[in-house]
A and B are shown apart, each in its own frame.
Chain A
Amino acid sequence: MNCELIQRRLLSIQDPERMPSQLRAHLAYCGACREWHDHLLLLERHIPLLPIPRSDGKAKLMRSLLQAQAPPSPGDMPETSSRSHAPTLWHSHSGRLLRSRTWLLGVAAAVLLIALSWLGLQRWLQTTGSSPPSEPASGLAVFFTALAPLAKAKNAAPQPVDFPAPP
């Protein structure tokens, strides 16, 4: 096979780095074709290295793609996400929750205390066998006495709760 034909075949194969055995056999003894083949490989390896100007188009498109996505509502966001991206939101939400929970616990404790006192008083009256002179009035008095501090606290302005500044 002559060299011109070999070189044409090298130009037409898909990958000049993977030659058929017939071409390899020719290159094994033909120095000129071997050199010509080396040049072809050198050329192809340098194509991906040809310089092109930098582009910031990708960053722009990525930004617009991701910004076009509707932001999730705070309720849909995982807790870690709300903490890391919206610390103020997370702290204010947490503060409101904490204040309302404290208030509810206080009311529940007061009601429990009143109920226990009322039951204790009833049992004591039953065991002594004497009815108090003014039982309903006495019961209501105990009830309102116990509620008085709670009502006072409810009317007072809520105190702001200090939270650590977000990192």
Chain B
Amino acid sequence: MLIHSAQQGDRQAFAVLVERYWDRLYRWLYHLTHNRHTAEDLVQETLLKAMAGLASFRTGSNFQAWLFRIAYNSFVNQWRAAERSRQPFPHQLPARNEGPVEQLLSRESLQMLARAVGRLPNDYRAAFLLRVEQGLSFHEIADVLGIKEETARWRVFKARQKLMGVLAPQLDREAL
């Protein structure tokens, strides 16, 4: 209904979609780019492209997957253009108040996890974050990234394997 209204040119309806998807896109693109401003630009570009191409969206298909596909294409274009001047992953993470869930993992482990995610190859990281943060199925990830479902499964598998290789020994040490 909301998407249909937006397709009819209702900007208020599109604003609701922006409200709903901005944070998800920004979070994913920040993890891919490691740069706040680049991520913001890419989210804006994605949403404006989506607004312009909303008429081509088939009602009934997965809007989130469609949006993330646009975002990924924008990211790939940007990444190719800026490959040489790519910024390293920040070592100091932004401060964040510790909540009850975070206490399960120490600050040190969280830093380690963030760095490990940042060091994953882009393809693995994109697929893994779509699975874990956005809850997309392997089929939907394949759709977003333009790959086969089995390739999506493989990339998530490899990302998990690498992260577990880094984090499991740390968790074992902390458990002692």
Give me the interface of A with B, judged by CB distance under 8 Å: 8, 11-12, 14, 36, 39-40, 42-55, 57-58, 61-62, 65-66, 68-69
- Whether B164 pairs with A43 at a CB distance below 8 angstroms is yes
Q: Which of these binds chain A: B63-71, B72-80, B127-135?
A: B127-135
Is A49 in contact with B102, judged by CB distance below 8 angstroms?
yes
Tell me which of A44, A50, A65 contacts B110 (CB under 8 A). A50
The answer to whether A52 and B31 have CB atoms under 8 Å apart is yes
How many of chain B's residues touch chain A, expressed as a range? 35 or more
Q: Is the CB of B160 within 8 A of A11?
A: yes
**Docked-complex contact A49 and B110, CB < 8 angstroms:** yes
- A46 to chain B: which residues have CB within 8 Å? 102, 104-105, 110, 113
Report yes or no: A65 in contact with B114, Cβ–Cβ below 8 A. Answer: no
A-B pairs, top 10 by smallest CB distance, nearest first, are A57-B40, A58-B22, A51-B96, A53-B36, A11-B160, A12-B157, A47-B132, A51-B94, A52-B30, A69-B11
Majority secondary structure of chain B interface residues (helix, strand, loop or mixed): helix
**Inter-subunit contact A50/B164 (CB<8 Å):** no
Residues of B within 8 A of A68 (CB): 11
A50, chain B: closest CB distance, angstroms: 5
Q: State in angstroms the CA–CA spacing of A52 and B101 once bound together.
A: 17
Nearest CB of chain B from residue A12's CB, rounded to whole Å: 5
Task: Using known A-B contacts A12-B157, A40-B164, A61-B47, determine if residue A52 contacts B133 with beta carbons closer than 8 Å.
Answer: no
- Can you give 14 contacting A-B residue pairs, CB < 8 Å? A42-B171, A46-B105, A46-B110, A47-B113, A49-B101, A49-B102, A50-B114, A52-B31, A55-B39, A57-B40, A58-B22, A58-B23, A58-B43, A61-B44
B176 touches A (CB below 8 Å): no
Chain B residues with CB under 8 A of A44: 132, 160
